[in-house]
Structure formats: structure tokens, C-alpha cells
Amino acid sequence: MIESWRWFGPEDPVTLEQIVEAGAKGIVTALDHIPTGEIWPLTDIEERKRKIESYGLTWKVVESVPVHTEIKSGSGHFKHYISNYQQTITNLGENGIECICYNFMPVLDWTRTNLKLDLPNFSQALSFDISEFAAYDIFILERANASESYPQEIQEKAQLKYVNMTEVDKEKLEKNIIAGLPGGEGSHTRESLRKAINLFKNLGENKLREHLYDFLKRIIPVAEKHSINMAIHPDDPPFGLFGLPRVVSTADDAEKIMRKVPSLCNGLTLCAGSFGARSDNDLISMVENFGEKIHFTHLRNIRRKTDGSFTESEHLAGDNDMVGIIKAILEVEEKSGREMPMRPDHGHTMGEERHREDVRPGYSYSGRMKGLAELRGVIHAVKTLSKTSQA
């Protein structure tokens, strides 16, 4: 596997020098200063690439080129934004980019309710609590008919949590949910969130899926021309929020997408944490079944609860069989003769970084360096055992 690292550009508190020190070889980055829907200029792409390569690193994976809301909703100027997306693919292809990770989640990108959950070992983790989310949805956002989206037990827990919240607690919860997390597509106010939900509320899963298929049919030929793999990221969390549809939450969802537009360039980002937040997703089987259609992987782990809540765990300590997943990926690599870019994801916030305001939630240096070291150890052990068994 190609050991990679998510870098948020020149404003990232984690420097390229530190990434080299961590032992990563590839950079995963995006031009976040370009507004969603606008064309990524060749000059900006070239400048970012020169900066990365000046440290002896490579840039082969973009995460992400955001998909404009009007493409997802099939409204307004969606054809114009698809045309811009096609040109961005072309510009990236001319600079040697091999993979574009993207998502098709409506309204919110990845979502958590707590960005600094204190753990017994003194580090801090990201977490998603369904009853806290319901408390926000029902009692703070006051979305119409929101209670219908949750079973009675969750409604009761949500009400209890809301009653015991201070105003500071409510503000913090709202900020965590709608203010925009690293790598996401921007932030919302309470009013803009209500407006965005209304845009999608009557769309439904089938229509959202149709819009995704239409988008892919238009961009995949461009990706093929420039030898770029499009790798869709799963929904995070992999179930509906605010009553909105989700179309990339299960193995069946992924299969439908790849079957509808049958091109090797139309593939998947295997995010172990996102897919793994559902107990009915068998990640090892997904690696085996999708094989060379997996173009990029996020190796992170979670601890699930039966109600849909989860906490992001250490990379080797969660409910996902990380050793089995890595073994399956290495077998796919051996069969296909290619190396897959991977990166550690959402490391815990540790040490002095816990007290710094500039550390991005989930993207601490020390937490990801620890995760990368653990994953590197598993990869080395699996490869060594494989060689020994073949001898």
C-alpha cells in the first residue's frame, strides 16, 4: 500500500516536513480555497504539486473535489457545474493526478456530535451520539415532523438530554453538527440548514440516486480519457440524517453505482470507519468483492452501539477487523499488480495538541502518526507471514 497523509494545504498546522518525518510517501489534498462548483485552475494545481514534490512527496489522490448542491438536487445550473467538474478532472489529469475522492451526501458532509470526547487514556476522540443528534434535530433546529425520524426510545433520551443542556451545551452541539468539519463542504447557519433540508426533503432516495447516475455518466468518460479513477466516499454516518436520503451507505448501494456505470474508473473509496459504522457491512467481503474497483482507502476504526451511535477508536482497537481488512487489500494488490493509496484517518488528539486551538478535529499530527505506525506494523507483519507461508 502507498502510505499517504491528508494535508489541508499551506494553512494546515501539520507541515510537509512533519509528514516526511512520519514516514508517509503520498499526499492527499485538495484546493479548498476554490469555491464549490468552480473550476480548479491549472496554475493553482501546478503550484500545489510543486510544493508537495519539493519535499520528496507525491500527489496522486485528490480529496475532495466537492460536488455542488445543484448537481445533487438536479436543480438550477447543475449542467454548468457538471461542465466545470469535467474541466477540473481534465486539469488534474494533466498534472498526473490518478484518483479523485468525492461524496454525494446531501446538505451535510461527515457529521459528529462530539469532537473532543475524553477517553480513559487521556486522549480525545470524535463521536456520534444519535440521541444528542436527535435532541438537536427535534428541539433546537425544530425541523418539521423531526420526531418521526427516531424510535420512541431515542426520542425520550433526546428530550432528557435537551432538558439537561445549558445554553453553552446547545451552542456547542449546534456548532459541532453544522459548522463544517475538516475536509467538508463548508458550514451552515441554522436558517441555511433548514433551507437546504427543504431543498432535498421531497427528493427521495430514488431521485438522489438518479442524479448521481446522471453525474457519473457525464464525468466518467472524461475521467477515462485522463486515466483518473473516481472513488466515491460512503455516507458518514451511513444512514439518513434530518430525514434526508442516503445512497452510498451499504455494499448494495456501492454495487448499484458500479453496475449502473460499468467502468473501471467508476470505483470506491473504502472508508472502513464509515462503512463499518453499520454492523451489516462486511468490510472484508467488500474488499474481496469490489477488488480493483477500490481505488483509495481510509483505514480507521470505530466502536459501535446498537442504536447507531459510535466512537472513533484507536486504529487497531475497534469493531472493524483491521488486520483482516489489510490482508484482503494486500491480496487485491497482488492480484491486480498495483499499489493502493491508503491513509490513517481521524486519529485521536493527544498530548499538547489537546490544548491547541489550531488542531483540526480528527486530524491531529500525533494521533495520525500513531495510527500510521500501527497500520504499517500490520502491513509488515501480514506481508512477512505471507512470504513465510509461501517459502
Active site residues: 233, 271, 298, 345-346, 363
Alpha helices by DSSP H, the chain: 16-22, 42-53, 69-73, 78-93, 130-135, 152-163, 167-178, 190-200, 204-225, 251-260, 272-276, 283-290, 322-336, 365-390
- The DSSP code for 229 is E
Q: How far apart are CA 138 and CA 296, in angstroms?
A: 37
List for the chain the helix, strand, coil content (%; round to 5): 45, 15, 40
Buried b (16+ CB within 10 A) or exposed e, 317-347: ebebbbeebbbbbbebbeeeeeebbbbbbbb
Q: How far apart are CA 96 and CA 278, in angstroms?
A: 35
Alpha helices by DSSP H, 230-364: 251-260, 272-276, 283-290, 322-336
> How many C-beta atoms lie closer than 10 Å to residue 239's C-beta?
13
- Of the chain, the end-to-end C-alpha distance in Å amounts to 22
What's the chain's length in residues?
A: 391
> Taking Cα atoms as reference points, which of 119, 167, 117 lies closest to residue 139?
167
Q: How far apart are CA 133 and CA 139, in angstroms?
A: 10
> Taking Cα atoms as reference points, which of 147, 142, 298, 159 lies closest to residue 231?
298
Q: How far apart are CA 261 and CA 265, in angstroms?
A: 9
Cβ proximity of 301 and 315 under 8 Å: yes
Buried b (16+ CB within 10 A) or exposed e, 283-311: bbebbeebbebbbbbbbbbbbbeeebbbb
